[in-house]
Structure 1
């Protein structure tokens, strides 16, 4: 479905992705009267969660509700068009500054002077039965997004990597108790010492399953023992949700994120990136939140406008 006819026009900017980063970018570009096409699919990283948190003015709102309102805002600008794809969406991006070509599944190719990537990342959860079914609610990966909802309960932290000590420390003012489930793995000496200083409990037995019970979770251990939890924090493995960074030869960080400057510019002229897929200067990892993604979309869109303006007067 296309909300306004696409033609052979060379768009100023093609935005790939319509999460918070892409939608904010579209609104910013629309307000600056830059011809913009937003190409979206129906898949979003925060689909599993029913409510998003820690977002100014929208705390507790369903993610889809925010996207609907943001899209309505962007559609109010005459220079913004949407291409909604049920299938694969964009399959390939080629070209260079001023002449990018986006191949789109079951649609004509789209041409644009600049490309803004807002395609996000895809999570892979720990392979433990029951975790996927509760992910986004009683199982989460971000204490800033979900930690408050576990307040006053025993909170589990799955893993044995060094980050579990910092996670236990962050949760200390929130949780009644914290249990680190190493899932059979060994803690290094520094991590074990850090956990001891925070007063967290350590359970070393493998976790065989997780299930919801009442308002919380029950974690089944290999010994047959069960632990009741108010919530469980896990570390996900993630990868780019789309192949465009590789297709365009963008510089990547050690974590697999697109390297960007403070304005979302990538290593390739004319290509910008915003949201969970991008890692800015001075950051140890991408900042995975709806609010920071929206902010990054604004900055990347502003860079598109500024770079084009400077090129015209150079």
Structure 2
């Protein structure tokens, strides 16, 4: 970040696939852009990115390094910092306070802050997250195919996850844990896909030689497995942005609140004029390639919004 742009056309908050692709798009549109990168990319613990044509299997860190080098070619600036406060200063200007002591201003904001995975409170789950504790079969299913997979039920979603993961393995076990009691229909569906059901609460995970080996039940039983599937609560990351007045909406799955997101239209415009959003902060189930595409769409919407404002200003001169 430099003093060359006391007022940026756009500040992009967040530097995952959505934020960096938005910055690339805006840089190529000849806009002055600053990316505020807190270094909290959601997929950082994962070994690789999948289902991204042309980047299949790339490590998240390598993907970010490539993306950062690409945006720099178009004059995009980047600062490693977090936003601690944000507010509208005038009708056409926002101010941001960063945790490095800097204040930056922009005509428009684009939020790509992602979400926070709130994991089940079982010892070992957080430590193994994105390694052998997983949630998305499209992200990891191929890599763990034919392995013994446990699904930790904490809600009705557990049944659906078990059915889904049975596409990748014939050794799927639903660990009833704290999920709701299974009715006859649920048991019939699970049986049709050869999913085993184990009643009882999981108290911890057993790790042997750095690898997940089993789920340990409260009654002393042991369920051997090499992968555990969980259903996190997906919460929009909006820390420090309260001053913008964003509309944060509950996300429901199977009749219960399973997360939250910032409401935005298909072009990324939020309910706050001048504030756009893209990626997992607006769509909790979005993958890396989808987030990158959303970043492009939101950047295009933001650029068009600036053009409309610039045109109106020019007409009044």
- What TM-score do the two structures reach when normalised by structure 2? 0.88
Partner of 2:30: 33
Moved more, 69-78 or 34-43: 34-43
- CA drift of 1:32 comes to 0.5
Aligned mates of 1:310, 1:49 — CA distance in 2: 41
CA positional deviation for 1:294: 1.1
Asked whether the 8 Å contact 2:5–2:32 carries over to 1, the reply is no
Is residue 161–residue 187 contact of structure 1 (8 Å, CA) maintained in 2?
A: no
Cα distance in 1 for residues equivalent to 2:207 and 2:173: 17
Where in structure 2 are the equivalents of 1:31-180 lying within 5 Å? Answer: 31-78=28-75, 80-85=76-81, 89-95=82-88, 97-180=91-174
Q: Quick one: structure 1 residues 213 and 55, their matched pair in 2 at CA, closer, same or farther if it must change by over 3 Å?
A: farther
Cα distance, 1:232 vs structure 2: 1.1
2:297 to 286, 295, 299: 299
Q: 1: distance between equivalents of 2:53 and 2:189? A: 33
Maintained 8 Å contact 1:155/1:175: yes
SS in 2 for 1:149: helix
Match of 2:197 in 1: 202
Residue matched to 2:281: 277
Displacement of 1:62 in angstroms is 1.2
Aligned counterparts of 2:206 and 2:159: Cα–Cα separation in 1: 25
Check whether the contact 2:113–2:281 (CA below 8 A) recurs between aligned residues.
yes
Counterpart in the other structure of 2:269 = 265
Instruction: Say which SS state the counterpart of residue 299 (structure 1) adopts.
Output: helix
Q: Show the counterpart of 1:282.
A: none
Deviations 1:17-65 (A, max 9, x none): 1111111111100101011111112222112212222222222221011
Q: Which runs of 5+ in 2 are unaligned?
A: 252-259, 313-317
Runs of 4+ in 1 over 6 A off after TM superposition: none
* 1:308, distance to aligned residue in structure 2 (A): 1.5
Give the gaps of 5 or more residues in structure 1: 280-285
Q: CA deviation at 1:184?
A: 4.5
TM-superposed deviation, 1:83: 1.4
The number of residue pairs the alignment matches comes to: 301
Deviations for 1:121-162, whole angstroms, at most 9, x for unmatched residues?
122211111112211111111111112222112211111522
Counterpart Cα distance in 2 of 1:123 and 1:160: 14
Cα distance in 1, alignment partners of residues 265 and 244 from structure 2: 17
The normalised TM-score by structure 1 is: 0.89
Checking the alignment, whether the CA contact within 8 Å between 2:86 and 2:242 is kept in structure 1 is no
Going from structure 1 to structure 2, the CA distance change for 1:227 and 1:24 (only over 3 Å counts) comes to: same
Cα distance, 1:200 vs structure 2: 1.2
Q: CA RMSD in A?
A: 1.9
